[in-house]
Structure 1
Amino acid sequence: MAVSRRRFDACAEWRYLCAALRYFTRVPLPGNVGTTASDLAGAIRYFSLIGALVGGLGAVVFLAALRWFPVPLAVLLSMATTLAVTGAFHEDGLADCCDGFGGGATREDVLRIMRDPRIGAFGVIGLVMALALKWQTLAALPPLLAAWLMIAAHAASRAMAASLLITLDYARADGKAQPVAQRLSWRAYGVVAVLGLPWLMWPDWRAGLVALLAALLARVALSRYFVHRLGGYTGDCLGLVQQVVELVIYLCVLAWISS
């Protein structure tokens, strides 16, 4: 009986992982594994692992491109790769949040603007600034450290975004993120954290700790803002947290090695 239960749990975790790949990336998967509502509800526990995989792909492209191109161009090629594999999923959330919070006076206005598929001035400015800062920060780092940080920051930023599901309510009655926007237990979040946060502790645990503390502060500040403006979070809010925390990690490590 115990063996049967372990097999069942392993199968369930496999379905959750497939669901995470389907939902958070554009990676084509054959068959219909990971497509049910329960699978999508469990997908969030592998959010940070998906981040590590996406960051790892970006790091491979970056290091390979360095053989033929200067560092700034290699970073851009890496960023283009991660944008393609995720379908700019989180960047879209960042742009929608900039438009919504920048142009909406009331809760209803913010939610309505976020749902609008068109991008406005606030969204363009926020997206351009975020991408430019990532590009310049990664290009200023030593190449091997930049490659590792791509993995660490993609994983850790998703772990921070997932933490909103522990303490906040989903702000919409319905929405595209609702299948995965289920309350997350501390036990389930432990999986997210273990898969996402330890990457920051190498090669310099002190720089990693500073980056982690800054990421926590950013997470707390953003979650308080979401509660103040919306009474909870949306899928776009998760994208904003992921993008901001990823950038905060890059900036903190660059500041640490430059000091």
Structure 2
Amino acid sequence: MKEQVRIFFTALMFYTRIPCPKEVDHSPEYINKATRYFPLIGWIVGSISFLAYWIISYVFGMQLAVLFSLVVGVLLTGAFHEDGFADVFDGFGGGWSKEKILEIMKDSRIGAFGAIALIFLFSLKFLALHSVLISFGKHHLLFVSLLFIAYHALARFSAICLAFTSEYARDDELSKAKPIAKSHSKAEVIGASLFGLLPIVLLSYFHWQMVFVVFPLILLVLYARSYFQKWIGGYTGDCLGALEQASECLILLTWITLAKMM
């Protein structure tokens, strides 16, 4: 049990800016095991984002509440996934070989492709989340909180599925994602699946149609895996971040579609 607590705090430290005990470090062994709790981090980020939305909505209304919930999510993670999203667009937008793509993605500076991608990303997330909350906002408060938890947890599960089913693309040890790529056991797969899928199962108690969000995500993961394999022979940490952000958008857009069918 003590080891599981350390693994959890390793995940919390690696994927968020939330303070953790001083004895927790970036041990490659524990970072690798921490993948089992990656979707659980989505529970935490989603819950805090929901609290921000709920509180702000009483003071400033829905639109600003949605915006603040997105800001809180970025602050909690340190824009960890958004940074990967921008790097992927810079790398694949400006590079035409594996070496050049990986070189561009490693550059800490943001380029035109990345900046433009982030503008569209946040615009889409704001409008989509706002539309989802208009469609489902009159439901029980528990249902609305599960919406926040589910889209964060399920998006992270989609990203980690790429790591479970693909090879790491870089030949060096310089990337933060390298420890994740070395190995994974049944514990990582089972843990990630449990924490990633449970929120959507709980949502289906209110509306069984909500489970259909899984199918477009499967297609997205398969497409991302094929695309990254074609161009760089696998994935990098930036690819995982990009897939996580794309999954968030796809989940929200799918819910908008489902709401119109209910």
**TM-score normalised by structure 1 residue count:** 0.92
Counting aligned pairs with the same residue, the percent is 36
Partner residue of 2:15?
A: 24
C-alpha distance in structure 2 between counterparts of 1:221 and 1:83, whole Å: 26
Structure 1 unaligned runs (5+)? Answer: 1-9
Distance 1:231 1:79, change over 3 A: same
Q: Does the 8 Å CA contact 1:72/1:136 hold for their aligned counterparts?
A: no
Q: Does the 8 Å CA contact 1:207/1:253 hold for their aligned counterparts?
A: no
- C-alpha deviation, 1:186, in angstroms: 4.1
Q: Does the 8 Å CA contact 1:166/1:186 hold for their aligned counterparts?
A: no
- C-alpha deviation, 1:208, in angstroms: 2.3
- Partner of 2:234: helix, strand, or coil? coil
Q: Does the 8 Å CA contact 1:63/1:147 hold for their aligned counterparts?
A: no
Could you list the per-position Cα deviations for residues 99-139 of structure 1 after superposition, in whole angstroms to 9, with x for gaps in the alignment?
11111100111000101111111111111111111100111
Matched, 1:243 2:250: no
Matched, 1:71 2:69: no
C-alpha distance in structure 1 between counterparts of 2:110 and 2:198, whole Å: 36
Partner residue of 2:119?
A: 128
Q: Does the 8 Å CA contact 1:46/1:192 hold for their aligned counterparts?
A: yes
C-alpha distance in structure 2 between counterparts of 1:40 and 1:51, whole Å: 16
Q: Which residue, out of 169, 172, 178, partners 2:170?
A: 172
- Partner of 1:237: helix, strand, or coil? helix
Could you list the per-position Cα deviations for residues 131-182 of structure 1 after superposition, in whole angstroms to 9, with x for gaps in the alignment?
1111001111233555432210110111111112222111112212112333
Task: Write the mapping of 1:122-161 to structure 2, written as runs, cut at 5 A.
Answer: 122-141=113-132, 142-143=136-137, 144=141, 147-161=145-159
Q: Which amino acid aligns with 1:162?
A: I
Indicate the larger mover: 229-238 or 22-31. Answer: 22-31
Partner residue of 1:7?
A: none
C-alpha distance in structure 2 between counterparts of 1:250 and 1:257, whole Å: 11
C-alpha distance in structure 1 between counterparts of 2:128 and 2:80, whole Å: 21
- C-alpha deviation, 1:205, in angstroms: 4.8
C-alpha distance in structure 1 between counterparts of 2:38 and 2:229, whole Å: 23
- C-alpha deviation, 1:53, in angstroms: 0.6
Count of residue correspondences:
250
Q: Which amino acid aligns with 1:95?
A: A
Q: CA RMSD in A?
A: 1.5
C-alpha distance in structure 2 between counterparts of 1:121 and 1:207, whole Å: 39
Matched, 1:112 2:103: yes
C-alpha distance in structure 2 between counterparts of 1:160 and 1:63, whole Å: 27
C-alpha distance in structure 2 between counterparts of 1:183 and 1:37, whole Å: 11
C-alpha distance in structure 2 between counterparts of 1:30 and 1:185, whole Å: 26
- Partner of 1:217: helix, strand, or coil? helix
Task: Write the mapping of 1:1-259 to structure 2, written as runs, cut at 5 A.
Answer: 10-141=1-132, 142-143=136-137, 144=141, 147-173=145-171, 174=173, 175-201=175-201, 202-203=203-204, 204-259=206-261
Distance 1:147 1:72, change over 3 A: farther
Relative contact order (alpha carbons < 8 A, sep ≥ 6): 1 or 2 greater? 2
Q: Does the 8 Å CA contact 2:8/2:37 hold for their aligned counterparts?
A: yes
Q: Which amino acid aligns with 1:191?
A: G
Distance 1:176 1:34, change over 3 A: closer
C-alpha distance in structure 1 between counterparts of 2:209 and 2:122, whole Å: 22
